[in-house]
Chains A and B, each alone.
Chain A
């Protein structure tokens, strides 16, 4: 578990350094996600023989179960920021009603357009390639 956490933090740290260093408008942890993905590809690719030199928790599924544990409780991690919102609701009072309309309408339309375009393109692509996954 500690080895898994260490690896996750290393990926995040390198991601943070790359993001700040290069001034890319992507959060460090998202770059860290890319690095972790690359690590998994190399580990399972086997060309470098990483499986033999890596600590066991990184190859025996502990890393994966640590990840699952974090993702299962993703909701929890938004609580501290959410509680901060409660304290600053005064910022919303002046324009509260108008802001509520903008948030509701735009979020609903954003969901709607995204899902409809996704499905429309899936149908288009699969008509050309009938063996595609449904």
Chain B
């Protein structure tokens, strides 16, 4: 027992183990998603998180230990955002032609999200710090946490709400758009990126590269607009 235990203690503390667990769980989740024909409910982020979360719970591993290995994957979010420039560049003519609909949809989408979140949270009698933490929930997590903190919310709670919003949006977008019979991949992608930031963008890239391109643009534009609108909207109320 002593030998096995010291091996476990060693492995559990190196980045190798948790990096391997993250990648293996993702490969498995991707296989499951592919086997369902990329059904929206078989969201690869959700499945991987459940798998890894279960391993951590069973092994009693604290999150900071896990993150030491997983940080290499987490780091790639930045470079992945930078290379959204490539599909954008390849389709720049298509994007330029859709500039007016994009700006209109951005303004309407960002304003609606804030109004619905703040209005509904008020109706349900949620306490003010939670309403503030909710306000930027459709924005990419780094910016959302900054907005929440600056306005007196709880950035950790905001990060949780942002990730949950991303997963909900990525699951809802395809059935909703199909029900509305909207086949314009530009519009579908733009909505996914605006409502569900990077997780919605990842889903959009699974469906079509045009959708992914427009989702990436929406994610960037909404981060900018919500950072301006959220303080204004909350100021009107409190």
A interface with B by C-beta (< 8 Å): 5, 8-9, 11-12, 15, 25-30, 32-37, 39-41, 63-64, 66-68, 70-89, 91-92, 95, 98-99, 101-122, 125, 132-133
Contact = CB atoms under 8 A, between A and B. Distances in A.
Interface in B119-167: 120-121, 124-127, 130, 134, 137-138, 140-143, 146-147, 154, 156-157, 159-161, 163-167
B182 A110 contact: no
Given A70-B80, A122-B101, A75 B156 contact: no
A16 B87 CA distance: 22
Given A111-B169, A118-B190, A70 B228 contact: no
Interface in B169-208: 169, 172-173, 176-177, 180, 182, 184, 186-188, 190-192, 194-196, 198-199, 201-203, 205
B190 A114 contact: yes
Report the 7 A-B pairs with minimum CB-CB distance, sorted nearest first.
Answer: A25-B227, A114-B109, A67-B83, A29-B81, A36-B85, A80-B70, A118-B105
B20 interface: no
A40 B44 CA distance: 31
A70 to B, nearest CB: 5
A110 B227 contact: no
A65 to B, nearest CB: 10
Interface string B11-43: 000000000001101100010000000000001
A87 B100 contact: no
Q: Which of A26, A39, A83, A95 has the most chain B CB within a 10 Å cutoff? A: A83
Contacts of B169: 107, 110-111
Nearest to B157: A91
Contacts of A85: 49, 159-160, 163-164
B94 A133 contact: yes
A118 B104 contact: yes
Nearest to A68: B86
Given A37-B85, A105-B116, A74 B202 contact: yes
B116 A110 contact: yes
Contacts of A111: 169, 172-173, 176-177, 191-192, 194-196
B234 interface: no
A77 B137 CA distance: 18
A133 B98 CA distance: 9
Interface in B56-79: 56, 63, 66-67, 70-71, 73-74, 76-79
Contacts of A78: 45, 77, 163, 166, 198-199, 202
Nearest to B93: A133
A59 to B, nearest CB: 14
A88 B76 contact: no
A74 to B, nearest CB: 4
Contact of A82 (B48, B112, B130): B48
Q: Which of A12, A25, A67 is the most central at the interface, judged by chain B CB atoms within 10 Å of its CB?
A: A25
A95 B160 contact: no
Given A81-B163, A102-B120, A118 B198 contact: no
A28 B101 CA distance: 26
Given A27-B223, A78-B163, A99-B161, A117 B126 contact: no
